[in-house]
Amino acid sequence: MKRKSLSIIVAAGLSAALALGGCARASQDSAGAPGEITMWTHSAGNPGELAVYKQIIADFNASQHQYKIVQQNFPQGSYNDAITAAAAAHKLPCLLDMDGPVMPNWAWAGYLQPLGLPDSLINSLLPTTVGRYRNTVYSAGYWDAALSIFARRSVLDKNNIRIPTVDKPWTLDEFDAAVTTLKANGYATPLDLGAADTGEWWSYAYSPMLQSAGGDLINRGTMKSADGALNGPDAVTFFTWFQQAFTNKWADNSGPVGNQRFIDNKVALSYTGVWNAKDALAAVGGDLLILPPVDFGKGPKIGGGSWQWGISAGCPNADGARAYLKFSFQDSYLTAFADSQVVIPSTASAAAASKYFSDTGALHQFAVLSQKFALARPATPGYPVISSTFEKAAKDIMNGAEVKSTLDTAVQAIDTDIKSQNNYGF
């Protein structure tokens, strides 16, 4: 019995070995069939966005016979892990989208090649939808997002608070007076800053305030140190205000994340993005105000740079990938993205055709805010570390940590990372 089992195992093993030795290597490698261009998106679970991609790909594939786009969709939350893993395995797709601030890191790591799209096309896009690293364009996007302050006209009128405009935004003193008045007149927490959120939201949302106050995440001239930018007098002044906003109970971090507290009229002012505008419009109607950000001293600022497209360094069909991208930047597609996703189109002509963002569209104000106040996050490969360090420092300060020493510690962490990476090539 025992010998019989053993002989069966040996025979099976020999057969497998012979089969393996005799068979040929599969012809199809990871790059796919000739002319096939692999494309990864972060859009799984987003039917509106995927429908537009499906249309573009169908149109492109039908427009020529040299290349064929093959799409794979990943959920946003695990997308960067998938890219990192694919890069480690040398299996990156030809076309990949990426969040704007991450692009320099991927370009520095050798994942990307220069985009190589015509200057006329690049120059027609909103500046914050073009990803530049060391004066080379590596990515470009169909849209941008923008932040603003949502309010109800009736609430501001009732409390005799001036409605700010793009040309005359609130000064910090005016803003402080407004939230003090709102708090005194029935709003236990008048302002939702979105502090219950986590991750990159913190640098996206609050570093523009810091920049408006005169500070920054890093010295952009050299990109070699955050000293003086993140812990200088302007930064200390801003973060002292930021801390007081929580100690004064103007804002809190109790959540929920999103804009529900504004819709329920539990807060009077909500610092949030264009992605929440459609629901707010439906709930509040004509009473909704989309206000410019506060001027902390050096002019209002909002974060710029959303999802953008690039071409991987090892793409065997880079010309085809470029042809696809060029094809895809048609106004009709940009408008379709804008209206299905409620995001700001990257060309003026696409915005003019948009239901929401044309001159008469209900959300036109976001296009204006993006054009006037958007500032891209620092284009350095060190941004992921800068962002997580900034988040930790800002949260510590919100929770009562001493401002200057917390910022000094953050600067030290950022500078140590930059030095350990030989200044990231700067």
Partner 1 sequence: MAAHVVEAGERVLRRRRRVWIYLVLVGLAVFFLFPLVFMFVSSLKPDGQILSDLGGWRAFLPLGDISLRNYAGVFDRVPVGRFLLNSVIVTVAIVGAGLVVNSMAGFAISRLRWTGRGVVLSVVIATLIVPFETIAVPMVYWVSQLPTLVFQHGQVEYDFGWLDSYQVQIIPFIANGFSIFLFAQYFSTIPTAIDEAARIDGAGWFTIYRRIAVPLSGPAFATVAILTFLPAWNQYLWPSMVVQDENLRPVMVGMQYFFQDNTAWGEVMAYTSMITLPVLVVFLAFQRAFVSSVAASGVKG
- The b/e string for 196-231 (b: 16+ C-beta within 10 A; e otherwise) is ebeebbbbbbbbbbbbbbbbbbbbeeebbbbeebbb
Residues in a beta bridge with 386: none
Cβ 23 to partner 1 shortest distance, Å: 5
Among 31, 36, 59, 86, contact with partner 1 (rule: CB under 8 A):
86
- Asked if 30 interacts with partner 1 (CB under 8 A), we say yes
Between 103 and 145, whose beta carbon lies closer to partner 1? Answer: 145
Among 12, 14, 33, 85, contact with partner 1 (rule: CB under 8 A):
85
Backbone angles phi, psi at 66, to 5 degrees: -80, -35
d(CA 103, CA 108): 9
Between 232 and 304, whose beta carbon lies closer to partner 1? Answer: 304
Among 4, 88, 173, 221, contact with partner 1 (rule: CB under 8 A):
88
Between 46 and 423, whose beta carbon lies closer to partner 1? Answer: 46
d(CA 22, CA 24): 7
- Asked if 4 interacts with partner 1 (CB under 8 A), we say no
Between 80 and 219, whose beta carbon lies closer to partner 1? Answer: 80
- Asked if 122 interacts with partner 1 (CB under 8 A), we say no
Give the closest residue to 294 by CA, choosing from 271, 322, 317, 321: 271
Q: What distance separates the 2 farthest-apart alpha carbons in the chain?
A: 95
DSSP state of 314: T
Between 58 and 85, whose beta carbon lies closer to partner 1? Answer: 85
d(CA 109, CA 90): 13
Q: Which two three-digit tokens encode residue 87?
A: 């890069």
Cβ 243 to partner 1 shortest distance, Å: 25
- Asked if 82 interacts with partner 1 (CB under 8 A), we say yes
- Asked if 8 interacts with partner 1 (CB under 8 A), we say no
d(CA 344, CA 372): 13
Owner of token pair 């700001």 = 344
Enumerate residues 198-257 that contact partner 1 by CB under 8 A: 256-257
Angle at 403 between CA 219 and CA 395, to 5 degrees: 90
- Asked if 105 interacts with partner 1 (CB under 8 A), we say no
Alpha-carbon torsion 79, 142, 60, 117, what sign? negative
Task: Choose one: 22-30, 321-329, 360-368, 379-387; the region binding partner 1 (CB under 8 A).
Answer: 22-30
Between 16 and 58, whose beta carbon lies closer to partner 1? Answer: 16
- Asked if 26 interacts with partner 1 (CB under 8 A), we say yes
Q: CA 240 from chain center: how many Å?
A: 27
- Asked if 75 interacts with partner 1 (CB under 8 A), we say yes
Task: Choose one: 82-90, 149-157, 327-335, 346-354; the region binding partner 1 (CB under 8 A).
Answer: 82-90
> Which amino acid does the sequence have at 272?
T
d(CA 241, CA 39): 45
d(CA 276, CA 2): 70
Q: Pseudo-torsion of CA 219, 224, 227, 231, nearest 10°? A: 60
Between 21 and 221, whose beta carbon lies closer to partner 1? Answer: 21
Enumerate residues 39-58 that contact partner 1 by CB under 8 A: 40, 44-47
Residues 6+ apart with CB under 8 A from 7: none
The 268-287 site mask, x for binding partner 1 (CB under 8 A), equals: -----x-xx--x--------
- Asked if 388 interacts with partner 1 (CB under 8 A), we say no
Q: Which two three-digit tokens encode residue 159?
A: 């409390």
Between 231 and 341, whose beta carbon lies closer to partner 1? Answer: 341
Between 231 and 276, whose beta carbon lies closer to partner 1? Answer: 276
Helix 331-341 × helix 47-63 angle, to 10°: 170
Between 224 and 278, whose beta carbon lies closer to partner 1? Answer: 278
Cβ 83 to partner 1 shortest distance, Å: 10
Task: Choose one: 89-97, 128-136, 293-301, 388-396; the region binding partner 1 (CB under 8 A).
Answer: 89-97
Enumerate residues 341-360 that contact partner 1 by CB under 8 A: none
Between 275 and 426, whose beta carbon lies closer to partner 1? Answer: 275
Residues in a beta bridge with 137: 132
**Element housing 36 (H / E):** strand 36-41
Q: Which residues bind partner 1 (CB under 8 A)?
A: 2, 19-20, 23-30, 40, 44-47, 72-78, 81-82, 84-86, 88-91, 145, 256-258, 260, 263-264, 273, 275-276, 279
